[in-house]
């Protein structure tokens, strides 16, 4: 996948000095190759260093830090467990070949003869890429790249943004088949001269009813969510004298809300009016839809330390440095930062150190090994935008870290929920099982959502309550999945899924979080992913305090991974999070997540329960007891009967990895 080339193969397990050689290579390239003059001077320095290094110790003597690998579950299970499990009647085997990719282990691929050449080609490409990374790393070490000083360069800081834009354009042009069912069926929509506009708000049942009405008729319409576009709300009030929504306009004519549309439908006049709209040119006086890129500037509070940080960036020398026998890229010594703080504050060293801790606590910079906030002495620190993991993997970092004053955690949660609800309402089917990724990628709501995620960079996560943390991270996970599918395309096998769950990350509260870290680290209280041996957060990981005190098993029925067998995509709120999660569990089981055959005493369960079985019980009996309290009464009675007889069998349904388009 070209879309993720800039942000892949740089594993990270904890913030205990995780440094990636390929990131060093890419960051050095970004800082040295873009300005032509600097590139020439760097090449000359490299030649001089190469001649000098011949008389010094060999590059093999240079200690390179360990590269930790984050534990990620990619859907691959043990080969001996999968072999023979699927029979010819399995829904998986009835699917086209495209959907079989990534569903079986290497042994199963070999036995079935399914897509093995493609898998072998992917492995070969992976090995070649990693070999190139190591070659570049050793070449740079031999040239003593620690002597290279990084000068301020806007182009290099925006390198990640360029990669993301290239990925997005690639997705829009070729990654996805259009999700519009009419186009898939070969139906060409007639030319539309007029325009239907729906003014709506998030979470509104009447707005949802109007959407469903137009969708049933296959009618294209424009939607303006006044929660996302408040200026459009003022435009509506000027036209109608009220800001109440929903309101529907046929060209410049106000039709009304759901009651008026239902009345027209009852009199069989609605179709005729829609036909008139299609054939009538829309006048310029009609309400205008939201245009892509149309911006609304929100007031931004300036952080009290932003001016100091600007001076710090100007005066410290950022370059590759050795610390504790390891090479770290783009960092600066604490002694230089201390001089800047003492100069700015006009104070003694002790007070300057305390001031530096306050700045570091706002996540403007971190210690390269997370050993302390800020201390005097031989310590090395790095601005967040220079961290290879953050600059190359965090897709809500657009080259620079957001220096504005962080919003309160409650405001962040409300903003995220507002955009999540707006996107789900407009681009997800009513049952939450089908997502129009192409339309989302080209929508103004998504553009503003991505812009909003920059506010996540440095806010204080510690103030979240349990309910707020649950709602925030569930909604964030689901929106990251949508964002990741747009950037990477739908995963087509274990390697792609591993890349999505591990390498697609957001900078949240000063630290990078992958999808796997959110699910297994935060929401499962730092439990190991299925079939893995390592927990997401180590004992010294700064993200560990964010994890829930106890694992919450209900989250598995709220997190979607963009597949057919995933739970429905919904938006969750802190106020009713527990009730909403229980409702999500019941809806999942009603949709086929559990079935019971009393004749054979067999209980068929979703594969999700098998993967995360430790969250539901220590054995089959405990899992069934948990199910008794979640399924409908008739099934609960059958489960109790099976438990009383203590003679039953649990089988797990095949997982459908095909995309939820």
* Residue 545 forms part of a structural domain: no
* Residue 382 forms part of a structural domain: yes
Give residue 558's pLDDT. 97
Long-range contacts, 342-350 (Cβ 8 Å, 24+): 344/308, 344/311, 349/376
- Flag whether pLDDT at 413 surpasses 80: yes
Output the domain CATH number for residue 212.
Answer: 3.40.30.10
The verdict on 274 and 201 lying in the same domain is yes
- Flag whether pLDDT at 163 surpasses 50: no
Give me the residue label for tokens 């899924």: 497
Give residue 300's pLDDT. 78
The verdict on 254 and 317 lying in the same domain is no
* Residue 48 forms part of a structural domain: no
Give me the residue label for tokens 């007070």: 351
In the sheet that holds 326-333, the strands lie side by side as 319-323, 326-333, 380-383, 365-367
Structural domain tally of the chain? Answer: 3
* Residue 64 forms part of a structural domain: no
Greatest mean pLDDT among 19-33, 241-255, 459-473: 459-473
HEC string of 618-638 equals CCHHHHHHHHHCCCCHHHHHH
CB 202 within 8 A of CB 425: yes
* Residue 648 forms part of a structural domain: yes
Instruction: Give the integer Cα–Cα distance in Å for 302 and 406.
Output: 9
Instruction: Give the integer Cα–Cα distance in Å for 220 and 520.
Output: 40
Identify the domain containing residue 250 by its residue range. 196-279
Query: DSSP states of 547-579 as a string?
Result: S-SS--GGGGGT---SBTTSPPP----STTHHH
Q: Which one of 238, 260, 279 terminates a domain?
A: 279
Residue 288's nearest CA partner among 192, 223, 241 is 223
Output the domain CATH number for residue 342.
Answer: 1.10.10.10
| Number of C-beta neighbours around residue 274 at 10 A | 18
- Flag whether pLDDT at 31 surpasses 80: no
Q: How many CA atoms lie within 13 A of 292 on its CB side?
A: 7
Q: Which one of 357, 386, 415 terminates a domain?
A: 386
Exposed, middle or buried by CB within 10 Å (0-12, 13-18, 19+), for 112? Answer: middle
The verdict on 380 and 337 lying in the same domain is yes
- Flag whether pLDDT at 183 surpasses 50: no
Instruction: Give the integer Cα–Cα distance in Å for 90 and 557.
Output: 23
The verdict on 266 and 330 lying in the same domain is no
* Residue 316 forms part of a structural domain: yes
CB 78 within 8 A of CB 610: no
- Flag whether pLDDT at 38 surpasses 80: no
Give residue 95's pLDDT. 36
Give residue 336's pLDDT. 94
Q: pLDDT-derived band of residue 112, with 50, 70 and 90 as boundaries?
A: very low
* Residue 592 forms part of a structural domain: yes
Tell me the pTM. 0.77
Cα angle value 420/423/428 (rounded, 5°): 115
Q: Which residue has the higher pLDDT, 33 or 444?
A: 444
Give the mean model confidence (pLDDT) for residues 594-613.
94
- Flag whether pLDDT at 180 surpasses 90: no
Q: Which one of 386, 417, 447 terminates a domain?
A: 386
Give residue 63's pLDDT. 52
Chain mean pLDDT for the chain: 79
* Residue 660 forms part of a structural domain: no
């Amino acid at each position: 996948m070209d879309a993720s080339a800039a942000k892949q193969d740089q594993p990270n397990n904890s913030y205990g000095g995780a440094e990636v050689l390929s990131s060093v290579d890419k960051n050095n390239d970004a800082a040295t190759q873009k300005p032509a003059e600097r590139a020439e001077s760097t090449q000359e320095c490299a030649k001089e260093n190469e001649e000098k290094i011949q008389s010094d110790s060999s590059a093999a003597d240079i200690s390179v830090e360990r590269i930790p690998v984050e534990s990620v579950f990619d859907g691959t299970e043990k080969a001996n467990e999968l072999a023979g499990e699927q029979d010819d009647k399995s829904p998986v085997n009835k699917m086209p070949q495209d959907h079989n990719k990534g569903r079986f282990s290497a042994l199963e691929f070999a036995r079935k003869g399914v897509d093995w050449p493609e898998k072998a080609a992917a492995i070969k490409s992976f090995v070649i890429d990693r070999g190139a990374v190591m070659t570049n790393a050793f070449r740079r070490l031999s040239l003593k790249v620690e002597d290279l000083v990084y000068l301020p360069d806007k182009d290099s800081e925006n390198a990640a943004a360029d990669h993301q834009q290239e990925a997005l354009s690639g997705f829009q042009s070729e990654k996805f088949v259009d999700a519009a069912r009419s186009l898939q069926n070969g139906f060409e929509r007639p030319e539309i001269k007029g325009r239907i506009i729906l003014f709506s708000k998030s979470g509104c049942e009447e707005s949802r009813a109007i959407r469903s009405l137009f969708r049933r008729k296959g009618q294209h319409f424009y939607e303006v969510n006044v929660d996302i576009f408040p200026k459009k709300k003022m435009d509506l009030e000027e036209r109608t004298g009220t800001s109440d929504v929903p309101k529907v306009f046929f060209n410049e004519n106000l039709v009304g809300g759901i009651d008026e549309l239902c009345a027209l439908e009852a009199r069989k006049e609605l179709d005729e009016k829609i036909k008139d709209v299609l054939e009538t040119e829309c006048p310029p006086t009609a309400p205008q839809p939201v245009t892509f890129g149309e911006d609304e500037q929100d007031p931004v509070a300036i952080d009290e330390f932003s001016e100091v940080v600007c001076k710090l960036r100007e005066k410290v020398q950022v370059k590759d440095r050795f610390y504790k026998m390891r090479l770290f890229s783009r960092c600066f010594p604490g002694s230089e930062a201390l001089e800047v703080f003492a100069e700015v504050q006009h104070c003694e060293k002790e007070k300057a150190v305390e001031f530096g801790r306050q700045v570091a606590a706002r996540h403007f910079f971190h210690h390269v090994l997370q050993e302390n906030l800020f201390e005097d002495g031989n310590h090395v620190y790095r601005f967040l935008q220079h961290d290879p993991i953050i600059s190359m993997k965090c897709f809500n970092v657009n080259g620079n870290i957001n220096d504005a004053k962080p919003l309160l955690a409650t405001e962040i949660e409300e903003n995220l929920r507002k955009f999540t609800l707006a996107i789900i309402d407009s681009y997800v089917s009513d049952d939450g099982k089908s997502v129009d990724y192409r339309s989302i990628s080209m929508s103004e709501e998504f553009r503003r959502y991505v812009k909003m995620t920059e506010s996540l960079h440095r806010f204080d996560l510690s103030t979240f309550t349990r309910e707020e943390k649950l709602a925030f991270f569930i909604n964030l996970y689901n929106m990251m999945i949508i964002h990741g599918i747009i950037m990477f395309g739908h995963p087509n096998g274990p390697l792609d899924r591993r890349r999505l769950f591990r390498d697609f990350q957001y900078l949240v509260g000063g630290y990078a979080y992958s999808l796997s870290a959110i699910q297994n680290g935060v929401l499962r209280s730092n439990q190991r992913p299925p079939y893995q041996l390592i927990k997401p957060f180590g004992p010294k990981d700064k993200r560990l305090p964010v994890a829930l005190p106890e694992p919450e098993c209900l989250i598995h029925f709220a997190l979607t991974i963009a597949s057919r067998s995933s739970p429905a995509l919904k938006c969750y709120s802190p106020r009713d999070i527990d009730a909403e999660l229980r409702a999500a569990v019941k809806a999942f089981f009603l949709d086929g997540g559990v079935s019971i055959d009393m004749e054979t005493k067999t209980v068929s369960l979703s594969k999700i329960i098998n993967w995360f079985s430790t969250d539901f019980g220590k054995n089959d009996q405990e899992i069934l007891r948990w199910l008794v309290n979640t399924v409908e009464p008739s099934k609960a009675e059958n489960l109790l009967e099976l438990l009383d007889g203590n003679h039953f069998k649990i089988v797990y349904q095949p997982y459908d990895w095909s995309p939820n388009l």
